[in-house]
Chains A and B, each alone.
Chain A
């Protein structure tokens, strides 16, 4: 069954340092998409980065990069040069195809990141 696991409920990082948020997934579908979203205290869900299962290179979007290790089924988010505004909840998500029942996108439980000044 499809599953997303984020093992770090909360993390602290010093401002200007890099931080890695862990995400592992489980699917039997060879075609899937992986996403990271940020949810600040204001509540909105902000898309950060996308990685397709057939993409050869790790995705990058500004200070965000996705460390995609397909064999290990891991899709860790790396935030470089942390800023105070990065304090938020971060969700890893996966979309795959259930050919008998449509499709499904599932979300992990999230990791709360605290950036210290």
Chain B
């Protein structure tokens, strides 16, 4: 199994508060991703990173920011949480991006976030 951990695994917060989710990998993979999973929408990409300090937006990036100061860590921040951001958040990693099987994304265990 790919060495990917997410913290916290569960969080309850109130609308308007900032929230930071952490993804940590031990595989030294270059690419890291944040997804959210919602009923009826499947998994949707929020942001991804292609190296330290190199990040880009996904399809549902509004209200989220990310940072990657070290290869192994990728942080997702909700600057001011809203109820629509209640979701399960998955981090994923891949060795490559557009290069055959090595582009396979491996997922962390997920974080359940409830915004009241």
Contact = CB atoms under 8 A, between A and B. Distances in A.
Contact of B88 (A31, A43, A91, A105): A43
B107 A91 contact: no
| A interface SS class | strand
A97 B96 CA distance: 13
B116 interface: no
Contact of B109 (A37, A44, A97, A109): A44
Interface residues of A, number: 23
A31 B42 contact: no
Interface in B44-83: 44-45, 56, 58-59
Contacts of B109: 43-44
Nearest to A6: B42
B104 A35 contact: yes
Contacts of B42: 91, 107-110
9 contacts: A45-B107, A47-B104, A47-B107, A52-B100, A52-B101, A103-B97, A104-B45, A104-B58, A108-B42
